[in-house]
Chains A and B, each alone.
Chain A
Amino acid sequence: MNPDLRRERAAATFNPELITHLLDGSPEKTRRRREIENKILSDPDFQHENHNFLTRSERYEAAIKKSAVMVKKMREFGIADPDEIMWFKRLLLGNFVEPVGLNYSMFIPTLLNQGTTAQQEKWLHPSTGLQIIGTYAQTEMGHGTHLRGLETTATYDPKTQEFIINSPTVTSIKWWPGGLGKTSNHAIVLAQLITQGKCYGLHAFIVPIREIGTHKPLPGITVGDIGPKFGYEEMDNGYLKMDNYRIPRENMLMKYAQVKPDGTYVKPVSNKLTYGTMVFVRSFLVGAAAQSLSKACTIAIRYSAVRHQSEIKPGEPEPQVDFQTQQYKLFPILATAYAFQFVGSYMKDTYHRINESIGQGDLSELPELHALTAGLKAFTTWTANAGIEECRLACGGHGYSHCSGIPNIYVTFTPACTFEGENTVMMLQTARFLMKVYDQVQSGKLVHGLVSYLNDLPSQRIQPQQVAVWPTVVDINNPDSLTEIYKLRAARLIDIAAKSLQGEMSHRKSKEVAWNLTSVGLVRATDAHCHYVVVKLFADKLLKIQDKTIQAVLRNLFLLYSLYGISQKAGDFLQGNIMTGSQITQVNQRVLELLAVIRPNAVALVDAFDYKDITLGSVLGRYDGNVYENLFEWAKKSPLNKTEVHESYHKYLKPLQSKL
C-alpha cells in the first residue's frame, strides 16, 4: 500500500467499519454484501474487458454479454432479494449501464403496478428470463416531461377488438428509451387512448416490436438507435415509429382503466395510483445521487492524499489534501455525500411504508410523498451533478482522463437531472404543493409532515419583511439551532414567493401567466425547502447513532454541511435577518476550523463507503494508492499504442513533409 494512504488510515480517530455497517443498515447486511461481492470477484466468468478502450459497438456487445452472465449467476448464487440484486449489479456495472436494464427497472414494475393478474401471468415469467425483453417508451422526440403533450395515439377498433397504435408526426416518434434501439422485443408504449371517437388521455400498452426468435422488427415497426451520446455508450437508446400498428385489446394494461370489447371506457377509481412507479424511480434516484457523489468523492480524496504538488513550505512537499483550498473543495462534498446517503435511505423507507398503506387503501400520504420526491430528486441530482464535476476538477489534469473514472461517473449520472422529470419542472411541482399548503395554512388549516413548519407563518413568529425580529440566539454548533434557521429561511422564501404570486395574480388575470412570472422565485423557495429537509433528516439521523465516536465524527460532517450551506447562501440568511454579519463571520471561520478537524479522518470517511476498486473504475482512486505505476500500465492499453508507428504518419505526415 502507498505509504501516504497507510499513514492516513493509521491516523483516523474512528473505525470506518462501524460507519459501513450504518450505511448498509446493519453488520449482517455488510457481511452479506461482501459475501456476494467476493463471490463475484473470485468467479472467472466475470473477466470483462475495460470499457474505456472499446468502440461503441464493442461496448454494447460486452454489456450484453455481461447481462447474460449476470442472469445466469444470479440464478446460480440464489440472489433474488432486491437489496442483494442491487449490490450484485452495483459491483458489476461500476460506472456503466446495461441495455436490458429497463426490462427490470421499468417494464416489469409497470407490469406489476398496472397489469391485471391475467396480464401478469402472461408476461411476467418470460420477461424475468429475458425471453421477452421489455422497455418503457414514453418520451417522444418533441415531448418530454410534459406528459399531456405526447402525440402517439392508440385508437380502439371494436370490429377486430384491436388497438391501432400510430406515430402521426416526426415529433411523435418515441425517442430515448433505453434498450429500444437493438435489444428489446417488446415495449410498454404510452399513448393517447381514443375509443368511440373520444380521447381519454395517456394509457399504457404492451407492444411487440421484434419477432421472437429472429429478432427482426415486425411489419409496421421502424426501430433503431438514436446515435452517440455524452455517455451511456453501451446503451442502445432508441427510436420507435409505429405505422397504424395493430395490437390485441388485451395488450392495454387494465388494472385501473379499461376498454370493454365494445369500446366502452371504464375510468380508474383513482388516478393517483399510477404515480407509483414514478415515485419509486424518483426516490431511488435520490439514493443514486448519493452513490455517484460518494464514488467521485472517494476517488478525489484518496488521490489528493497521494498527490504531492507544490510545496506549502519550501522543501516540504505536502499532499494536495493539506491545502486549504483543496479541503474547501472536497470536504463539503464529502459531507453532502453523507447527507444524501441518509436522505436516500429515508426515502427508501418512506416509500415502502407509504406503499404498504396504499396497499391497505390509505392514499392520504401520497400527495406529500409525490411532492417530496419530485423536489428532492431535483435538489439532490443537481447538487450531486455539480459535486461530481468539482471532484473531477480537484484531480487536476488527470481528472479529465478516463483513467480517473470520474468522467464516466459524471456522464452516466448527469442524465438524472433531465430524465424521470426535468429538474426545473420537478421543482415547480413541489412548489405547487407548497403553495397549496401555504393557502391551507392561510385559511386556518393545520398541516402535517415535513411542511408543518409553515403552520407558524401566520402567527407573529415569522415575519419575513420586518427588520430586527431575528436574530434570536443562534448556536452554530447545535444541530437543532441550525435546523431551525434553515427552517426560517425556507419559510421566508416560501412566504415571499406566495405573496409575489398573489401580487402577479392581482395584476393579471391568468393564473398561468402569474405562475410563470413567479417561477424563478418559486424554484428558489423550493430549493430552500429541500435544503431544510436534508438538514433536518441529517440531524435526525445523528440522534439515532449509538456509538459516541461515530456520532462525533458524523456530527462534524453535519456541522460542515449546514454551515457551508449557510456560508454559500449567506445572502438569504442576512437578508431575512435570520443571522447578522458577525454571525456569518463566525460561520465562515467555523467552516475553516471544521476542515482542519475533518482532515485526519478524510480518507477513513471515504473508505467507510466501502467501494471495491472494480466499482470505482478508477486508477486515481485505488484503495492501495499505487496510482502512478498503474496509470502507466493503463495507458499502455490504449488502442493507439497497438502499433509503434501510427498509420496517420504514413498517410498524412510524410506527404506533408515531402510536399515542400
Chain B
Amino acid sequence: MSSRAHRVSLGDSWSQRVHPDIESERRRQAFDVERLTNLLDRGARNTTLRREVESLFRSDPAFSLVNTYFMTQKEHFQAAAQKRFLLHKMAQRLNWPEDGLEIDYARRALSGDIILGVHTVATKAIISLGSEEQIAKWVPLCKTYQIIATYAQTEMGHGSYLQGLETEATYDAATQEFVIHSPTITATKWWPGDLGCLATHAIVMAQLICSGAKRGMHAFVVPIRSPQDHTPLPGITAGDIGPRMGLENADNGFLQLDHVRVPRENMLSRFAQVLPDGTYIRCGTAQSNYLPMVVTRVDILTSVVLPSLQKACVIATRYSVIRRQGRLRPSDPEAKILDYQTQQQKLLFPLAMSYAFHFQAVSLLEFFQHAYNAVQSNDTSLLPELHVLTTGSKAMMTDFCAYGVELCRRACGGHGYSKLSGLPSLATQVVASCTYEGENTVLYLQVARFLMKNYQQIWETEGAHSQRSLPQSVQYFTMVHHDKCPAQNASDFLLPEIYTTAWAHTAARLVEDSARHLQVLTQSGADQQDAWNQTSVSLVQAAKAHCYYVTVKSFQDAVKKLDSEPAIQLVLKRLCDLFALHGILADSGIFLYDGFLSGPQVDMVRTAYLDLLSLIRKDAVLLTDAFDFTDQCLNSALGCYDGNVYERLFQWAQMSPNNNSQENPAYKKYIQPLIRSHGSKL
C-alpha cells in the first residue's frame, strides 16, 4: 500500500482532488518522508504493521470519531464503551498477542477514545504489588474481564502527596479481615478512571493499621459492585464525579467505603504482609515498586501526550498552507499564512518539540530496558536515576506539549475554537496530564531533590574520581568548560557543542545557586523543611533548566546517529537547533546573568533562530506528514491530508443536531411571549 493512499481518508468525495496549495508543498522532496516515518516507527516493519491495523478501522461506522463531536457526555461514554467492546472482539478474532504492538496501534487509530484504560493499569499494579498466589488468582480474571478493576489512590482532599491519604485499612485479627473505611468526606476516593460506572473491583490504597500501629500506604483488592447485577455492594457509595473539560471516556469516579470488610488475603503482599495474628512483616525493599509507575508514565507520554502535540502540529501546519490572508507583495495573490514569520514562530517550535520529545522518549525507553535488565540480575542501582528521568520527562513533556497544543490551536484563529478542528479535544486531553500522575511542580521538586543530592556529593567527595560515581544524566555538573561562550557569529550557534554547552553551563549554574541558597539558609538557622520551601522557586527553575538540557542532549545524540541518512539528518538537525535556541531566547536572562552569553551573542542567537524559521518552513508540511496519522484519527476538518478544509468544515457543520430542523422551540417558548408582552405595553 502506498503511504499516500493510506493517509487519504476513503469515501470522502473531495479526497479525489488534493488541494493545489498543499500539493505544491509536497512537490519539494528534500528528504524521503517514508524513511522518516520508518524512523519514527522504529522500523519499516512496524510502519507496515501499523498501517495494516489502522486500515481495519477505516470503513466501520462504529469506529467513527467525527460523531463524537456531536454527542453528550453520556452518549460519548457509551460510544467509547462500544468501541472497546468491538476492539476486543477484533483482537480475539485476529489472535493479537496480549502485549503486542497491534493493540497499541489500534489505540492510536482510535485516538485512545475507548474505556477501560485504568483497568489495564490496575492489572499491572496487581502484577507488581501482588504475591505469586494473588497474581494467579486475580490477573486471569482481569484479563478475561470477569472483573473490571480500577486503581483508587487519589482522594478528594489529597492528590500527589501519598502520605496524606486518609483511607484506613484496620486489621481485625478476630475475623482475619481488613476493615476498609473512609473516615471523612475528604477521604472519598476521587478521580480514579473506570470507577464511575464500570469497575467491579478497586485496588484501594489505604493507610494500614495493625496491632494498633500505623504502617503506611498499602494496596487492597476491594470488591465494589455485585457480580450479578452490578449494583454497589453494601457499604459502598460510588458514582461519576461530574463533567470535566474532556476525558469523556475515562469514567472518572468517586468511592466511599463504610467499614467494608475484605479477607486478609486481599492485601497485595509482595513487599509486606500481615500475618493472621496481626504481625506486620516487610519483605525486601519496595524500590522496584518504581517500575510500574515508570511504565505507566512512559506509556502516557508516548501514547497520549506526544501524539496530541504531533497531531496539533499536523493540523495547524496543513491549515496554514491552505488559509490565505493579506499580501506579502502588492502584486501577489493573498499569502499562505505559513509564509508569515510570526506564524512560523508560533508553529515551528511545537514541531521541533514533537521531534525532540520523540527522541527523548526513545532514549527513556532504552534506559528503561537497561535498568530493567539490571534489576533482573538484582542490581537496583539504576532505579533512582530511571525514576528521576521519567519524573522530569513527565513534567517537562506534559508542560510543553500542553503549551504547544494550545499554541497550535490559537494559531488557527477562530476555526481553532471549533471542535471540528480537532484541536480543542487535543488540548483538553493533554492538559489533563499536567496534573494527573503527579502534579508537575511536585515532580520538578522531586527532580530538584535528586540534583541537590548529587551536587552535594561532588562537594563532599571532591577528588579526582568523584565523576565516576555520578549518574550519567548529571555528569555535566563536573564537565570542565569555559566561563564564557566562545561563539563568534550567528552560524557558531548552529554548532551543537556550542548550544549544548550553553545549556549544560546554565543548568549547572542554577543547580549550584540553589544549593548555595539552601546552604546559606540552613547555616543561618532555618530548619531543612523551611529552607527547602524558601528555595523552592529557584529549585524548580534549576530542575526545568536541567530537563531542557537533557532533552537537547538526547535530541542531539539521536541526530548524530543518523549519518546513514544525511538528508533526514539535515532536517532534524535544524529542528534540534531550533529547539535549543528557542529555549535560550525564551529565557535569555539566565544565560546573560553571569556573562556566559554576552548581549551581542544573544543577538547572534536571534539571527540564527530567525534564519532557521524560514529554512524549516520549506519542509514543514512534509515533516508533519511523516507522523503518518490517518485522517480518521486526526479527526479534523482543518487538518486532512487533502487540504480541502472549507468543504469539509461546511459538510461537518451540517451534522450538528441543531441543524436537524428549522424549528426553534426555545424562540417560540420564550421570545415570542416576550415580544407580545412588550407590544401590549406600547
The answer to whether B650 touches A317 (Cβ under 8 A) is: no
Residue of A nearest to B423 (CB): A230
A574 to B600, CA, bound (A): 11
The answer to whether B241 touches A635 (Cβ under 8 A) is: yes
The answer to whether A142 touches B646 (Cβ under 8 A) is: yes
CB-CB < 8 A to B592: which residues of A?
570-571, 574-575, 581
Instruction: Output the least CB separation between B401 and chain A (Å).
Output: 14
Size category, A interface: 35 or more
The answer to whether B646 touches A226 (Cβ under 8 A) is: no
Instruction: Output the least CB separation between B296 and chain A (Å).
Output: 16
Q: A141-B650, A574-B593, A640-B240 are in contact. Are A415 and B417 (CB under 8 A)?
A: yes
CB contact list, A614-637 vs B, under 8 A: 628-629, 631-632, 634-637
Q: A183-B664, A227-B70, A581-B593 are in contact. Are A637 and B242 (CB under 8 A)?
A: yes
Stretch at the interface among B40-48, B362-370, B531-539, B547-555: B531-539
A647 to B79, CA, bound (A): 12
A173 to B646, CA, bound (A): 10
Instruction: Output the least CB separation between A338 and chain B (Å).
Output: 21
Shortest Cβ-Cβ A-B pairs, 7 listed: A570-B589, A571-B588, A310-B161, A646-B197, A640-B240, A225-B658, A230-B424
The 27 sampled A-B contact pairs (Cβ below 8 Å) are: A52-B242, A64-B669, A131-B679, A142-B323, A215-B668, A227-B70, A228-B418, A230-B424, A239-B650, A311-B163, A312-B530, A322-B533, A329-B441, A400-B431, A403-B242, A414-B417, A467-B599, A519-B340, A570-B589, A572-B589, A574-B599, A584-B593, A592-B534, A635-B240, A638-B243, A641-B239, A653-B145
Residue of A nearest to B444 (CB): A325
Q: A229-B418, A631-B156 are in contact. Are A396 and B435 (CB under 8 A)?
A: yes
Stretch at the interface among A40-48, A280-288, A418-426, A602-610: A418-426
A566 to B422, CA, bound (A): 37
The answer to whether A639 touches B650 (Cβ under 8 A) is: no
CB-CB < 8 A to B164: which residues of A?
308-311, 317
A interface vs B, CB < 8 Å? Answer: 52-53, 55-57, 60-61, 64-65, 67-68, 71-72, 129-131, 133, 139, 141-146, 149, 170-171, 173, 175-176, 181-183, 215-217, 224-232, 236, 239, 307-314, 317, 322-326, 328-329, 389, 393, 396-397, 399-403, 407, 411, 414-415, 417-419, 422, 424, 428, 467, 510, 512-513, 516-520, 523, 567, 569-577, 581, 584, 588, 592, 628-629, 631-632, 634-641, 644-649, 651-653, 655-657, 659-660
B243 partner, pick from A230, A402, A414, A518, beta carbons under 8 A: A402
The answer to whether B420 touches A632 (Cβ under 8 A) is: no
The answer to whether B667 touches A325 (Cβ under 8 A) is: no
CB contact list, B571-607 vs A, under 8 A: 585, 587-595, 599, 602-603
Beyond the given pairs A325-B441, A325-B540, A645-B230, 13 more chain A to chain B contacts, judged by CB atoms under 8 angstroms and listed by A's residue number, are A53-B243, A56-B72, A64-B671, A67-B670, A72-B674, A141-B649, A171-B646, A217-B662, A397-B154, A397-B159, A397-B190, A400-B247, A638-B239
A324 partner, pick from B69, B432, B534, beta carbons under 8 A: B534
Q: A325-B445, A632-B185, A632-B254 are in contact. Are A146 and B325 (CB under 8 A)?
A: yes
CB contact list, B381-435 vs A, under 8 A: 406, 409-410, 413-414, 416-420, 424, 427, 431-432, 434-435
CB-CB < 8 A to A322: which residues of B?
533
A278 to B21, CA, bound (A): 33
B289 on the interface (CB 8 Å rule)?
no
A224 to B656, CA, bound (A): 9
A146 to B345, CA, bound (A): 20
Stretch at the interface among B81-89, B272-280, B454-462: B81-89
B interface vs A, CB < 8 Å? Answer: 69-70, 72-74, 77-78, 81-82, 84-85, 88-89, 92, 115, 144-146, 148, 154, 156-161, 163-164, 185-186, 188, 190-191, 196-198, 229-232, 239-245, 247, 254, 323-330, 334, 339-343, 345-346, 406, 409-410, 413-414, 416-420, 424, 427, 431-432, 434-436, 439-442, 445, 527, 529-530, 532-538, 540, 585, 587-595, 599, 602-603, 610, 646-647, 649-650, 652-659, 662, 664-671, 673-675, 677-679
Of the candidates B154, B328, B435, B669, the one having the most CB atoms from chain A within 10 angstroms of its own CB is B435
A593 to B654, CA, bound (A): 57
Instruction: Output the least CB separation between B599 and chain A (Å).
Output: 4
CB-CB < 8 A to A571: which residues of B?
585, 587-589, 591-592, 602
Residue of A nearest to B599 (CB): A575
Interface of A is mostly: helix
CB-CB < 8 A to B82: which residues of A?
651-652
Instruction: Output the least CB separation between B568 and chain A (Å).
Output: 28
